[in-house]
């Protein structure tokens, strides 16, 4: 692959400016190799604004638009694609026009796991435009692909690789998210099947990519969720958790061999440590355990004060996408995975 540092700059359009999109826009504007030439937004209220206004920077001299044709006319090298919902028609139009895409959505982590119709359409658009598309982020992405592949490079026997993610939500002032969407404070005993299916679709392909890349034999994927309840009435930033209500959730997505987990991602989200179950809660961050001939136990903490969490946490997802742009632009046409690309290296100056 061509070394990205050989090209002075890449023309970039930001697609959507929500929580993650506004951060990728800011990161692209500050990246020494990226030149922001356009921004697509989805609301009339944001249309026509200067790009700097929607991401907390001084004016950038670039106006936002709601029109796909405006983006196509700019002929950018790459689109940073961060919308809440996937629009396959838009994605294929961009790729067929020769525009590369780096997405923070989870649709393109592993081609084998994609819906066959979507995969066929996207690959045909990549072939037509000579373009590439890549999904990345922090989780799934960095912690489920990039970091496991690095840790596995120390092994000659790998019996299992297990990823734990912890998130302390007690200081998050988001009652709608915690209570209405995630179900904290409720009396539920079982996970919603649609939510489990969504988590399987998000993390299963990413883990399978690691298995296939390393040549690990796996039989099937499993997903399950469980709750822990508050032992006493607890006040959190989002409101009040009554005793006996859901105060922590754990979701596990795994690929197994002979009914034994080989690759596993387990997310534990909690609002208090005063629970009716012993889940060995840890600070917000990740723990990766490698069972092999060179065993490892790696902890990655997010040393972020609770009052700064809302402003800092989006960077964990957004920055890797921004840093990947030059590498994806130089990649061969097609759906490109973490295993296809060289190590994504940041440029600061």
Concatenated DSSP letters of 220-265: EEEEEEEEEEBSS-EEETTEEEPTTSEEEEEEEEEEEETTEEEEEE
CA distance 67 to 314: 26
Token pair recorded at residue 158: 């790998």
Shortest CA distance to 302 belongs to which of 321, 288, 282? 282
What does each C-alpha distance from 36 to 76, 120, 303 come to in angstroms?
A: 9, 30, 31
Query: CB of 328 within 8 A of CB of 336?
Result: yes
pLDDT of 65 reads 98
Name the burial class of residue 2, with classes exposed (0-12), middle (13-18) and buried (19+) by CB atoms within 10 angstroms of its CB. Answer: exposed
Q: What is the pLDDT of residue 158?
A: 97
- Ordered structural domains, the chain, with CATH: 4-137+314-335 (3.40.50.720), 155-293 (no CATH)
Q: Rounded to whole angstroms, how far apart are CA atoms 333 and 349?
A: 28
Overall size of the chain counted in residues: 349
Q: Is the peptide bond before 140 cis (omega within 30 degrees of 0)?
A: yes
Look at residue 307 in the predicted model and tell me its pLDDT.
Answer: 81
Return the percent helix, strand and coil in the chain, to nearest 5: 35, 30, 40
Which pLDDT belongs to residue 9?
A: 94
The pLDDT of residue 2 is 58
In the chain, how many H helices and how many E strands?
9, 15
Read off the tokens for 278. Answer: 């012993």
Residue appearing with tokens 């309840």: 229
Token look-up 């355990």 returns 289
pLDDT at residue 261, rounded to an integer? 96
The ranges of the chain with pLDDT < 70 are 1-6
User: ∠ CA 184-185-191 to the nearest 5 degrees?
Assistant: 45
Burial of 33 (0-12, 13-18, 19+ CB in 10 A): middle
> What are the structure tokens assigned to 235, written together?
């006040």
């Amino acid at each position: 692959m061509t070394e990205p540092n050989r090209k002075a700059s890449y023309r970039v359009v930001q697609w959507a400016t929500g929580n993650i999109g506004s951060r990728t826009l800011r990161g692209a504007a500050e990246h020494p190799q990226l030149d922001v030439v356009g921004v697509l937004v989805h609301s009339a209220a944001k249309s026509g604004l200067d790009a700097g206004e929607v991401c907390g920077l001084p004016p950038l001299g670039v106006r936002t638009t709601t029109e796909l044709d405006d983006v196509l006319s700019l002929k950018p090298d790459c689109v940073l694609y961060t919308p809440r919902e996937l629009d396959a028609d838009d994605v294929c139009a961009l790729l067929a026009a020769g525009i590369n895409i780096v997405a923070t959505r989870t649709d393109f982590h592993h081609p084998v796991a994609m819906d066959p119709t979507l995969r066929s359409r996207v690959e045909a658009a990549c072939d037509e435009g000579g373009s590439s598309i890549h999904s990345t982020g922090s989780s799934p992405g960095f912690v489920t692909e990039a970091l496991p592949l690095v840790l596995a490079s120390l092994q000659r026997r790998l019996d299992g690789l297990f990823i734990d993610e912890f998130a302390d939500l007690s200081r998050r002032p988001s009652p709608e998210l915690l209570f209405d969407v995630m179900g904290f404070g409720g009396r539920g005993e079982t996970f919603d099947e649609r939510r489990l299916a969504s988590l399987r679709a998000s993390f299963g392909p990413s883990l399978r990519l690691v298995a296939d890349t390393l040549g690990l034999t796996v039989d099937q994927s499993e997903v399950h969720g469980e709750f822990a309840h508050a032992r006493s009435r607890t006040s959190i930033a989002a409101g009040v958790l009554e005793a006996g209500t859901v105060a922590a959730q754990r979701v596990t997505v795994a690929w197994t061999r002979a009914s034994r987990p080989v690759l596993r991602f387990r997310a534990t989200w909690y609002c208090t440590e005063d629970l009716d179950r012993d889940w060995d809660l840890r600070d917000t961050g990740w723990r990766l355990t490698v069972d092999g001939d060179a065993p490892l136990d790696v902890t990655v903490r997010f040393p972020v004060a609770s009052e700064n969490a809302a402003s800092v946490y989006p960077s964990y997802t957004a920055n890797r996408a921004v840093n990947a742009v030059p590498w994806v632009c130089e990649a061969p046409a097609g759906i490109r995975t973490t295993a296809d690309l060289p190590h994504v290296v940041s440029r600061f100056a």
